[in-house]
Amino acid sequence: MMNRVILVGRLTKDPELKYTPNGVAVATFTLAVNRNFTNAQGEREADFITCVVWRKPAENTANFLKKGSLAGVDGRVQTRSYENQDGKRIYVTEVMAESVQFLEPKTSGIQSEGNHSSQSETKSSNKPTADPFAGGTQIDISDDDLPF
């Protein structure tokens, strides 16, 4: 069986971060994802998809994304139901995000999940570096030594 969802869209409001009684972080947010076609009036419609992310990625999402942020979500669709106060059965469909990618450039105040370096580190890493192999000794490798 396969259950895989990949979405790219903008957050409709700031993520909501909560913690379970055991201290596990969980963030929920709604992603507005444009449809690939326009309606009869020539307007592009969007789907508003609820996403849930857990643990450290939840904290990162809450800290670095805000309303209007462009984000990519990789996860799976999950449905659940509960009974509300009136005794009516409520069904919920959500995307359980396994990965949330921050797609805005850092200059807009948003950092990518795996890129939390300071600006000074980023600027210095863009400079060309000296050849790390300069001044080294030559290694003699025959074709027989290669694994391919």
Q: Model confidence over 41-96: pLDDT tens digits? A: 988 899 999 999 999 999 999 999 999 999 999 999 999 999 999 999 999 999 99
**pLDDT tens sequence across 95-122:** 999 999 999 876 554 444 444 433 333 3
CA within 13 Å, CB half, 35: 10
On whether the CB atoms of residues 102 and 65 are closer than 8 A, the answer is yes
Beta bridge partners of 46: 34
| pTM recorded for the entire structure | 0.67
